[in-house]
């Protein structure tokens, strides 16, 4: 059996679900446009540059979850899937995922974006496992804080290792290991895979992939 891991934002998606979720909440006047749009863009630029303070970002991104009941959040998310997410899922991404699912690989999305936002997206792809940043809950309401290590940079490696251990596996359990990603932020996990694949990569990852002979794939045309 092989292990196949997929980054989500700008890899399987032709866009960033974290960024889009905040923009969606702004469009519904849940968040103040003047205050939040500039910060959302600022955080996204830091992410792309590899300079994101993940804890400051999570304080920003998870806070709105704590202000609303889960039923309301779930209803908003269903609308978000229809208007912001399905339109940025291309046929090549669906085909790639299905090919690995069909060959019996153990497949997971591994993403820094929190599991409330990304859980329904993983289910849309039919991917059975999700390793994501976990938004903490108490009595069914989000607290606005993360639980445990965020799945970001080296934290992705830590979280994948723990997930595999829970399943009774380790990296050596698999014939081949794959990780698809667009971002320099994922170099720690890419370097663990026997088949790292750069997908529509940022400039830093593209240069690294060329230097190390990694394949470069486009899913977004």
- Core vs surface per residue 185-195: b (16+ CB within 10 A) or e: bbbebbebbee
Q: Cβ contacts of residue 168 below 8 Å, gap of 6+? A: none
What span, in angstroms and rounded, lies between the C-alpha atoms of 69 and 200? Answer: 37
**Mean pLDDT for all residues in the chain:** 94
- pLDDT class for 198, splitting at 50, 70, 90? very high
pLDDT attached to residue 4: 98
Active site residue 103: no
The answer on pLDDT for 129 being more than 90 is yes
Q: What beta strand segments (E) does the chain contain?
A: 3-6, 106-114, 129-138, 141-147, 177-181, 195-199, 216-217
Active-site residue 7, yes or no? yes
**By percentage, how much of the chain surpasses pLDDT 90?**
80
Which of 9, 16, 186, 202 does the annotation list as catalytic? 9
pTM, two decimal places = 0.94
Which domains does the chain possess? 3-217 (3.40.50.1000)
pLDDT score for 31: 83
Query: How many helices (DSSP H) and strands (DSSP E) are in the chain?
Result: 9, 7
Is pLDDT of 131 > 80? yes
Q: What is the pLDDT of residue 110?
A: 98
**Selected catalytic residue, list 7, 16, 182, 202:** 7
């Amino acid at each position: 059996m092989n292990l196949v891991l997929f980054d989500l934002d700008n890899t399987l998606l032709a866009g960033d679900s974290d960024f889009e979720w905040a923009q969606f909440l702004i469009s519904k006047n849940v968040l103040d446009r003047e205050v939040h749009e500039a910060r959302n863009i600022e955080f996204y630029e830091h992410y792309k540059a590899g300079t994101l303070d993940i804890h400051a970002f999570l304080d920003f991104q998870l806070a709105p979850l704590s202000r609303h009941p889960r039923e309301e959040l779930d209803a908003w998310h269903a609308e978000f899937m229809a208007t912001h997410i399905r339109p940025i899922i291309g046929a090549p991404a669906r085909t790639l995922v299905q090919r690995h699912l069909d060959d019996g690989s153990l497949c997971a999305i591994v993403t820094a974006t929190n599991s409330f936002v990304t859980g329904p997206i993983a289910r849309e792809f039919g991917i059975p496992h999700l390793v994501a940043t976990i938004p903490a809950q108490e009595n069914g309401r989000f607290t606005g804080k993360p639980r445990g290590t965020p799945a970001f940079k080296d934290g992705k490696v830590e979280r994948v290792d723990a997930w595999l251990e829970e399943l009774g596996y380790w990296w050596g359990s698999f014939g081949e290991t794959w990780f698809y990603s667009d971002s320099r932020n994922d170099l720690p996990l890419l370097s663990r895979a026997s088949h790292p694949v750069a997908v529509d990569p940022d400039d830093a990852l593209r240069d690294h992939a060329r230097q190390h002979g990694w394949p470069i794939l486009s899913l977004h045309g």
